[in-house]
Amino acid sequence: MSTPTIRAARVTLGLGSQVGRLLASDVQEAHSFVTKALRLPQETLDDKSKTPRADANLLWRRERGRSGAAALIVQTTDPNADLAGLHGAGVTGVQVIEDALTRVRSRLAAGEHLRFSVRTNPVKWQTEDGRKRRVPILDENEQIAWLARQFQGAATLAQDPFTGAEDVAVEQEPTVKVMPRGAVFNSVQFTGTLLVEAPDALEALVASGIGRGRAFGLGLVQVA
C-alpha cells in the first residue's frame, strides 16, 4: 500500500507580535494552532477516544533562522487539510508545498544516500521496584543506537568513510514542557546521512514520524 502524498507548509511567525512569540515558544499553543488545519470540530479534537492528529499524520517542528526569524514546519498526509489556512495573528506568511518529497523523489531508491534531520525523544523502558516505566536515554551512543532502531527496515545510518562510525551529529536540546498538561519530553536533534534500503518504508516513516511527543513538535523527519 503506497503512502499518501506528504504535504507541507512553512508558516513564518512574526516575532514582533505577542501571538507570534507565543507560537514560537509555547508548544501547547503551537499544537492547538497547527491542528486548525484539520478543520475538525473542537469536540472531536477534545475526544480522547479519537486520534485525529495521528490519523492525519499531522506533524510539526519549530525552526529558527540565522537572522532570528521563526517558523513552524507543518506536514500531513490528509489531502483535505487546509495548510494554506494557517494564517492569522502572529503569522506573516504561509508557503505550501504539495509534495514534501519532490526534491528527493528521484533519489528515493535503495542504495541512495539522503541527508536527514529530526528532533525527537529517545527513551527506554526501565524496571524499578518491579514496575516498568519510560526514562530518557541520556548517553549519546545509546541515543544513536535508538535512532538506528527507528529507521530499521527503511534505512540505515550511513558510515563516515574516514572513521567508520555512523555519520550522525547529536545535539542535546532543552526539555520540551507541555503546560498545563505537565508532560515533559527530553529533546535531541539528530542530523546525518541515511542509506536508503526500502524506499516505500522510508516514505511511510517520514509520513508518520518517529518517537514520542509528535503532537508537540517532535518526531518530524526531514530528508534532503
Per-residue pLDDT of the chain (224 residues; tens, 9 = 90+): 677 899 999 999 999 999 999 999 999 999 999 999 998 777 777 777 778 899 999 999 999 876 668 999 999 999 999 999 999 889 999 999 999 999 999 999 999 999 999 999 999 998 888 889 899 999 999 999 999 999 999 999 999 877 888 899 999 999 999 977 778 999 999 999 999 999 999 999 999 999 999 999 999 999 99
CA distance 56 to 97: 16
Domain 7-97 bears CATH identifier 3.30.70: yes
Question: Where, residue-wise, is CATH 3.30.70.1210 in the chain?
Answer: 105-223
Q: Which helix (H) or strand (E) holds 148?
A: helix 140-151
For 124, the 3-state DSSP assignment is strand
Is the separation of the CB atoms in 211 and 121 below 8 Å? yes
Query: Phi/psi of residue 192, each to 5°?
Result: -175, -155
Choose which CATH entry (3.30.70.1210, 3.20.20.10, 4.10.93.10, 3.40.50.360) describes domain 105-223. Answer: 3.30.70.1210
- Residue for cell digits 528527493? 104
Q: What count of other Cβ atoms lies within 10 Å of the Cβ of residue 65? A: 9
CA distance 179 to 28: 7
